[in-house]
Structure 1
């Protein structure tokens, strides 16, 4: 099912689901690297569709990211997150862990001076699973609608913690409460 269909359903059917749930669509930029000077990748721009369920101060949910630009045969990520949130007027900041699987490669082929199987060896050490700290300091709710800008994320691969770095900037997310 397409992400825009979730948002359209939420806008057209306001009473379709219980309160405390929301869906959002957004744009994001992800940087993946294993620290080698030869393979720091440029930011990969992508789209994100997310779902969250509010349970007291917690926002439990997950989503999909599509990162079309750059190398990789499967430019998708799927993730789950548990964010601790607070309400201060319309401001709804949130922070917490994110666990995900990424099809975006951390290792890109080196240029000159390295053995041909060098990137394959590094790829085998770094699996697709990652753990990250996700923060949304600029998240606001206006009645049924939410807006988040400049969300930050910092993480690493689970198969070799610290061997890779994942940085993400959530550019903007627009959501609606169901």
Structure 2
């Protein structure tokens, strides 16, 4: 028997358990440090994601675009590794996310604050972040996925704990390929 045929037969069960998921969703992101830069108004945006499902793991990443408000380039790029379980149609998932964000907004201080306060605040808001992502209301219907109220909580990597990142994925619709 040919070696490539043996290899494909050995890998076939793993391939059958794997899947590709492409989704598009609406999200709201809030970034705050509790100080002068204390923006509690969420930034709404679109989230395009890809995930490779292998057994109980979802590996993937995506791109977020949140054009509302002032600030840097309103784009985020991220990667995730989520642990999931299968309970009928219900497929909740949880795990870490690592990303680079252009979303932080620096608001010029008013009311007698030092001129260099914006620069000091910007140093706390580095572009790289780490977060814990949870999708408790994720469901699969044949070749389609629906997820609502995903929650993400995290901080920047340059000064962990100096800023809080809170994100709510309002709804994600996807297709299993």
TM-score tier by shorter-chain length is: 0.7 to 0.9
Q: Gaps (5+ residues) in structure 1?
A: 1-17
Q: Indicate the residue corresponding to 1:100 in structure 2.
A: 99
Q: CA deviation at 1:95?
A: 0.2
Q: Cα distance 1:61–1:38, how it changes in 2: closer, same or farther (>3 A)?
A: closer
Determine the C-alpha separation between the residues in 2 that align with 1:49 and 1:35. Answer: 29
Q: Cα distance 1:37–1:117, how it changes in 2: closer, same or farther (>3 A)?
A: closer
Residue pair 2:58, 2:83 contacting (<8 A) in 1 also = yes
Query: Is 1:165–2:171 an aligned residue pair?
Result: no
Instruction: Give the stretch that moved more between structures: 156-165 or 102-111.
Output: 102-111
TM score, norm. by length of structure 1: 0.86
1:74-122 per-residue CA deviation (whole Å, 9 max, x = no partner) reads: 0000000000000000000000000000001154323322112201112
Determine the C-alpha separation between the residues in 1 that align with 2:101 and 2:143. Answer: 31
Residue pair 1:46, 1:65 contacting (<8 A) in 2 also = yes
Extract structure 1 runs of 4+ deviating beyond 6 A.
none
What is the alpha-carbon root mean square deviation over aligned residues? 1.4
Determine the C-alpha separation between the residues in 2 that align with 1:47 and 1:102. Answer: 14
Q: Indicate the residue corresponding to 2:78 in structure 1.
A: 79
1:46-71 per-residue CA deviation (whole Å, 9 max, x = no partner) reads: 00000000111010000000010011
Q: Cα distance 1:93–1:21, how it changes in 2: closer, same or farther (>3 A)?
A: same
SS in 2 for 1:20: strand
Q: Indicate the residue corresponding to 1:6 in structure 2.
A: none
Determine the C-alpha separation between the residues in 2 that align with 1:108 and 1:37. Answer: 8
Query: Is 1:149–2:162 an aligned residue pair?
Result: no
Determine the C-alpha separation between the residues in 2 that align with 1:107 and 1:83. Answer: 32
TM score, norm. by length of structure 2: 0.87
Q: Indicate the residue corresponding to 2:109 in structure 1.
A: 110
Instruction: Give the stretch that moved more between structures: 37-46 or 92-101.
Output: 37-46
Residue pair 1:106, 1:164 contacting (<8 A) in 2 also = no
Residue pair 2:60, 2:79 contacting (<8 A) in 1 also = yes
Residue pair 1:139, 1:147 contacting (<8 A) in 2 also = yes
Aligned residues: 161
